[in-house]
Structure 1
Amino acid sequence: MAEAVSVTPELLEWPKKDRRRFLHAVYRVGDLDRTIKFYTECFGMKLLRKRDIPEEKYSNAFLGFGPEESNFVVELTYNYGVTSYDIGTGFGHFAISTQDVYKLVEDIRAKGGSITREPGPVKGGTSVIAFVKDPDGYVFELIQRGPSPEPLCQVMLRVGDLDRSIKFYEKALGMRLLRKIDNPQYKYTLAMMGYADEYETTVLELTYNYGVTEYTKGNAYAQVAISTDDVYKSAEVVNLVTQELGGKITRQPGPIPGINTKITSFLDPDGWKTVLVDNEDFLKELEK
């Protein structure tokens, strides 16, 4: 047993040394062309690629504010014949940073978009935000900020135990806790988790609502994908951390048949799914 003791601390250091970044968020939509039109016209995203897999009866579209080699993107999935999904109570929102929230909201309204919170400062703060809904009912927070290399800046998920989640993402995925905000007046606490400063990159915003320990997942939002240099080593770490904090590996590390990209996937203690994707394989896939 002596050997296991010496391996474990070194193994747990791996996620901090690994080259990791958020690659994409995967979710399901009822009409691919409708969503592409909304994201390109209202948000100013670019359609990066589209693929149809008739034998599996689904199509994908990848959209974002920059190339997939460097930017976080959304991967939309359309399953043939399925026009609507249940978003559930656990998924929160995506966020987009912009230099002028008021102007962006005007543009979205002019194109028939649904504004669910008018632009203005957050309660008790100075940040200017607004909320809008896309045609499938996904919520997007618009945040006023200076220029950013990554405007697609947040994925917000609700969790049942914030400290457990912070520990999980630090240990299993090597993320840093960038900031934690407790708002007793509105009965929630949130944690920003990521690999770099939140003004430069995409972060995971985990929200705990006082007293709420469970949420429904629905069948709309699927997962986030994160890069790694070694899916096998990364899966070993996740396996260790799930034994301590909960969650489970849902796909053992290895290549996807037909594509040969190596991945592993797992659920966090709340059941939110993450896929780890081999860095080099991912870039090769983009070249095809």
Structure 2
Amino acid sequence: MGSTDPSKYKFNHSMLRIKDPKKSVAFYEHLGMSVVNKFEFPDNKFDLYFLAYDSPKAASHGNHWTDREGIIELTHNYGTENDENYKVHNGNKSPQGFGHVCISVDNIQAACKRISDAGYKFQKRLEDGRMRHIAFALDPDEYWVEIIAQNAVDKTEGVKETDLQTYRMNHTMIRVKDQEKSVKFYEEVMGMQLKRTSENKEAGFNLYFLGYGPPAGEATANGVNPSASREGLLELTWNYGTEKKEGKVYHDGNSEPQGFGHICVSVDDLDAACKRFEEKNVEWKKRLTDGRMKNVAFVLDPDGYWIEVIQNEKYKEAPGKY
């Protein structure tokens, strides 16, 4: 048995179920992402598409797919694209749970115009509401994709060009019942660090941004998010008072209605990491030894969200792939 160092862990990907892979892959490619890996399971009738930013300017350009952060995994079950009644659950309609993925861009006005010009819909445009510095595009399954600026919002007239190669898959948002329990779990069990907290007392909610790697800088006077140029952050949204409710508050996306599936952390030594999780008394959805797939495990967080655990191939040449 080897040893494990949580500082080497990476928030590798977030999985979303999709209806039509052609439409979904085209959408995320329009956002500048590339298919960095694909697994086909014809016997089980599903395929997995892994998309990430992979240009020479990307945060993890050229890395093995397990040695990255900010991947979006699209899961396609064969036949759904031809099923008129099939619809995924985006997590924002009842029952709520998963909220959104988020990309950060160099020029938010130009980026949003480019998405709109391609015919894609928005849940919230820049000019809607009070928050004029963020937008939410809708992917083909109506998952929300937040768009934030990496630098000061450009208020000049006219729209400049946007460079897709500079984009980042910044974070994934999930709602949590009890902020203290969830932050403690992701810090002490998953080895993440709390990078930033955003309190919104008038609106009755707080946001907690956690991740691996270096600490975030301080927010600037112009309101720019100091973590906007990063990848692999987890945003926990806590609505005041939910911690006092009885039982489960949020939907994990895997029971009906299905949509979001899991987040995934890649680790330096899979066996040692799972042994560490065992010592932390985690609740397992799937141990390494369960079932046929002996190279993935699933831990449950305090709200019952699934966290996949995989081997980062950079640290260990594990035989085969899943």
How would you bin the TM-score normalised by the shorter chain? 0.7 to 0.9
- The secondary structure found in structure 2 opposite 1:185 is coil
Contact conserved, 1:254 with 1:263, CA < 8 A, in 2? no
Residue number in structure 2 paired with 1:5: none
Q: Is 1:101 equivalent to 2:131 in the alignment? A: no
Q: Is 1:208 equivalent to 2:238 in the alignment? A: yes
Choose which of 20, 27, 30 in structure 2 pairs with 1:38.
27
For 1:192 and 1:217, locate their aligned partners in 2 and report how far apart those are by CA, in whole Å.
Answer: 19
For 2:171 and 2:307, locate their aligned partners in 1 and report how far apart those are by CA, in whole Å.
Answer: 15
Amino acid at match of 2:76: Y
Contact conserved, 1:156 with 1:206, CA < 8 A, in 2? yes
Contact conserved, 2:32 with 2:167, CA < 8 A, in 1? no
Amino acid at match of 1:111: A
* CA separation of 1:240 and 1:182: change in aligned 2, threshold 3 A: farther
Contact conserved, 1:159 with 1:206, CA < 8 A, in 2? yes
Choose which of 238, 243, 264 in structure 2 pairs with 1:225.
264
Q: Structure 2: any 5+ residue segments left out of the alignment? A: 55-61, 81-85, 152-162, 217-226, 244-248
Amino acid at match of 2:47: S
For 2:172 and 2:69, locate their aligned partners in 1 and report how far apart those are by CA, in whole Å.
Answer: 14
Choose which of 286, 301, 313 in structure 2 pairs with 1:268.
301
Amino acid at match of 1:140: V
Q: Is 1:85 equivalent to 2:73 in the alignment? A: no
Measure how far apart 1:122 and its partner are: 9.0
Amino acid at match of 1:227: S
Residue number in structure 1 paired with 2:246: none
Contact conserved, 2:14 with 2:71, CA < 8 A, in 1? yes
Contact conserved, 2:70 with 2:171, CA < 8 A, in 1? no
* CA separation of 1:158 and 1:62: change in aligned 2, threshold 3 A: same
Residue number in structure 1 paired with 2:134: 129
Choose which of 194, 205, 214 in structure 1 pairs with 2:211.
194
Q: Structure 1: any 5+ residue segments left out of the alignment? A: 1-10
* TM-score of the pair, normalised by structure 1: 0.82
Residue number in structure 2 paired with 1:179: 196
For 2:118 and 2:320, locate their aligned partners in 1 and report how far apart those are by CA, in whole Å.
Answer: 32
Matches within 5 A, 1:49-68: 49-66=37-54, 67=62, 68=65
For 1:238 and 1:284, locate their aligned partners in 2 and report how far apart those are by CA, in whole Å.
Answer: 20
Residue number in structure 1 paired with 2:13: 24
Percent identity at matched positions? 27
* CA separation of 1:154 and 1:120: change in aligned 2, threshold 3 A: farther
* CA separation of 1:162 and 1:48: change in aligned 2, threshold 3 A: same
- The secondary structure found in structure 2 opposite 1:238 is helix
Measure how far apart 1:217 and its partner are: 2.9
* CA separation of 1:80 and 1:158: change in aligned 2, threshold 3 A: same
* CA separation of 1:178 and 1:131: change in aligned 2, threshold 3 A: same
Report Cα offsets for 1:199-240 as digits up to 9, x if no partner.
Answer: 333100000011235122331111111111222332233234
- The secondary structure found in structure 2 opposite 1:280 is coil
Amino acid at match of 1:250: K
For 2:35 and 2:320, locate their aligned partners in 1 and report how far apart those are by CA, in whole Å.
Answer: 14
* TM-score of the pair, normalised by structure 2: 0.74
For 2:15 and 2:190, locate their aligned partners in 1 and report how far apart those are by CA, in whole Å.
Answer: 18
Measure how far apart 1:167 and its partner are: 0.4
Report Cα offsets for 1:134-176 as digits up to 9, x if no partner.
Answer: 1101101101004997700100000000011010001111100
For 2:264 and 2:166, locate their aligned partners in 1 and report how far apart those are by CA, in whole Å.
Answer: 19
Contact conserved, 2:252 with 2:303, CA < 8 A, in 1? no
RMSD of equivalent CA atoms: 2.9
- The secondary structure found in structure 2 opposite 1:84 is coil
- The secondary structure found in structure 2 opposite 1:163 is helix
